[in-house]
Structures are given as structure tokens and as C-alpha cells.
């Protein structure tokens, strides 16, 4: 019997923390919703949800020292997962309603408006994951995931040229145009869609993350 993995759902005031908590508990994690600095720093896995505007989420995250916590966890190789705006804020910057806000800059690039006939992109969609993805391991390539967003990262520019460093794995989806749907980058994983609202496929995806903790 492997140890039960402990996960903190980081509560900085901008995220559907209860549904994230339920989904993680359903796949066997010992889950706590908190913004407590020490618990968020020392738990097996930190999940950063995000609902709302990029700038408001960044303000809330900084007020709870979430920027510091994410940075120090990653510096020590401690797993972090971002969901929805919790993924968007990992990029260099976000532009929403003409407001440009600095993100955590874990990855270069700008999160901007989705160019599609219908926004928000609200509903189920497939993704195009790399063959060797650990996040999507064991999942049907035709599986669908639940998205609710009007902004996205359209490009991926972080290139890793050193063969000794594991290159990030990027998963794409399309709504009007191609956008980044998920990233696996060492201890930092993130999804634009909501695994906690994506049924069995989402549960398998969260299980895949929990198993790395």
C-alpha cells in the first residue's frame, strides 16, 4: 500500500477550490484547502486553481504569497499543478480587456484573447498530446476535457537545447485557432481545461499527476 499523497489546493480567493478538492479526494489524495504558507510549501503536491481575470488572479496570488510559494517549490523540484487561469498566470504575461499583467514567467509567452467565432470556449473538446506524455498516459486520444476560457497561450517558445534537460511536453487543442491546452515541465504541470470537471478522463489525468508526487 503506497502512502497516501497529500495535496494542498491553494486558496487565494480565485478558484473553484471545492470541486478541485472533491476531484482529488475521489482519486485517493489527502486534500486540504488552505493558503497556509508552511503547509503549501511542504505538502507533496500543490494545486493552483484559477477562475476569473488574469490580473485579479495574479493580485490574489501575490497577496497570499503564492508567487513566492510556487517559485520556491519549483526551485526545490516540488510538484505544482496549475488549472485554467492557474495555468495562464504561469506564463510571462497576460493581456485581458486591454490590461497587461505580469505573470509568474515560468514560461515565456503571452496569454491573450482566443480568436474564435464563439467565446468563451465553453464545453468539451479533444486535445493533441505528445506520444510520451505522462499527464495523458493511458487516456484515449479521443477523450474530451471541459474548457471554460476566452483567453489562452497561442504559442510555445521555450526551447530546451541541452539533451540532458528533459524538454517540456506541450499538449494542444483548437477552438477557432490552436492554443496550449496543457504543459508538463519537470515538477510543473498545468492544464487550460478543468480536469476536476472532465469526468473519468479528468480523474485519470489527476491520478497520473498524483502518482508522480
Ligand X SMILES: NC(=O)CC[C@H](N)C(=O)O
- The residue number with the shortest CB distance to ligand X is 149
Question: Among 6, 28, 44, 51, which residue sits at the site for ligand X (rule: CB under 6 A)?
Answer: 51
User: What DSSP designation does 211 have?
Assistant: T
Find, among 39, 37, 47, 41, the residue nearest to 15 by Cα: 47
User: What DSSP designation does 128 have?
Assistant: B
> Which residue stretch of 19-27, 46-54, 131-139, 177-185 sits at the interface with ligand X (rule: CB under 6 A)?
46-54
Give yes or no for residue 135 binding ligand X (CB under 6 A).
Answer: no
Active site residue 84: yes
Q: Which of 21, 84, 96, 106 is catalytic?
A: 84
Residue 99 and residue 83 in contact, taking contact as beta carbons nearer than 8 Å: no
Find, among 21, 43, 40, the residue nearest to 31 by Cα: 21
CB of 205 vs ligand X, minimal distance in Å: 17
Active site residue 57: no
Write each residue from 95 to 124 as x if it is in contact with ligand X (CB under 6 A), else as -, in one continuous string.
-x-----------------------x----
Give yes or no for residue 181 binding ligand X (CB under 6 A).
Answer: no
Cα separation, 122 vs 145, whole angstroms: 10
Instruction: Tell me if residue 15 falls in helix, strand or coil.
Output: coil
> Which residue stretch of 25-33, 71-79, 145-153, 197-205 sits at the interface with ligand X (rule: CB under 6 A)?
145-153
CB of 12 vs ligand X, minimal distance in Å: 14
Give yes or no for residue 53 binding ligand X (CB under 6 A).
Answer: yes
- Three-state helix/strand/coil letters over 23-52: HHHHCCCEEEEECCHHHHHHCCEEEECCCC
CB of 192 vs ligand X, minimal distance in Å: 8
Whether cis (ω within 30° of 0) applies to the bond prior to 120 is yes
Give yes or no for residue 13 binding ligand X (CB under 6 A).
Answer: no
> Which residue stretch of 5-13, 66-74, 148-156, 176-184 sits at the interface with ligand X (rule: CB under 6 A)?
148-156
Binding site for ligand X (CB under 6 A): 51-54, 84-85, 96, 120, 148-151
Amino acid at each position: 500500500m503506497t502512502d497516501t499523497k497529500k495535496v494542498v489546493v491553494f486558496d487565494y480567493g480565485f478558484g473553484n477550490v471545492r470541486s478541485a478538492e472533491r476531484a482529488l479526494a475521489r482519486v485517493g489524495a489527502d486534500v486540504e484547502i488552505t493558503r497556509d504558507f508552511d503547509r503549501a510549501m511542504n505538502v507533496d503536491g500543490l494545486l493552483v486553481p484559477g477562475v476569473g481575470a488574469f490580473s485579479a488572479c495574479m493580485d490574489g496570488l501575490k497577496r497570499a504569497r503564492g508567487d513566492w510559494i510556487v517559485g520556491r517549490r519549483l526551485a526545490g523540484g516540488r510538484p505544482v499543478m496549475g488549472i485554467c487561469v492557474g495555468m495562464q498566470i504561469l506564463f510571462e504575461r497576460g493581456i485581458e480587456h486591454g490590461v497587461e499583467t505580469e505573470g509568474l514567467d515560468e514560461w515565456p509567452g503571452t496569454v491573450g484573447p482566443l480568436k474564435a467565432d464563439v467565446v468563451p470556449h465553453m464545453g468539451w473538446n479533444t486535445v493533441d498530446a505528445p506520444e510520451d506524455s505522462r499527464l495523458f498516459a493511458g487516456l484515449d486520444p479521443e477523450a474530451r476535457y471541459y474548457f471554460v476560457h476566452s483567453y489562452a497561450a497561442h504559442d510555445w517558445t521555450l526551447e530546451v537545447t541541452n539533451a540532458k534537460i528533459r524538454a517540456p511536453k506541450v499538449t494542444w487543442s483548437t477552438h477557432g485557432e490552436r492554443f496550449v491546452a496543457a504543459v508538463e515541465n519537470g515538477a510543473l504541470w498545468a492544464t487550460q481545461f478543468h480536469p476536476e470537471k472532465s469526468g473519468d478522463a479528468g480523474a485519470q489525468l489527476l491520478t497520473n499527476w498524483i502518482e508522480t508526487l
